[in-house]
Amino acid sequence: MAEKQNEIFSKVFRAGRRTYFFDVRETRAGDYYLTVTESKRQTNEDGSFFYKKHKIYLYKEDFDNFKEALQEVMDFIIREKGPEVISERHQPDFQPQEQESGEAEKAADENLSGDEPAGESEDTEEASGTDKYTDVDFDDI
């Protein structure tokens, strides 16, 4: 009951199985702070549900730095990957990008000399720790 008394303002954002709560609360001294709670619906083995929650507390003195860091990270993601959602979950017709021809040939060569069947090259790369990143020189584009 005491927790409800210091809630000043709330905003809820639902995203699939996750729900985000943005709550303005009041300190004992009468100042405001923000809590951000992620609540994710989980399923027990018996089929019953429970909610796993993660919470952060953000105080006014950190708002500017937090906002700048969040904006910088979001801008980076949009700049690097664009605003479109790229995932199996959000796009039923999602097809993983094919490997560059040089990488595909290298993977095929590794599979021919290894013990793994050729159809399992993705698992082999992950198990060996091989990075799947390609360096790109944007001056060439």
pTM over 0.75? The answer is: no
Q: Is residue 70 a contact partner of residue 91, using CB atoms and an 8 Å limit?
A: no
- pLDDT greater than 90 at residue 86: no
In the chain the domains, ranked by start, together with CATH numbers, are: 2-60 (3.10.450.700)
| pLDDT tens string 16-34 | 889 999 999 999 999 999 9
CA distance 43 to 97: 32
Of 48-62, 70-84, 116-130, which gets the smallest average pLDDT? 116-130
CA distance 31 to 54: 23
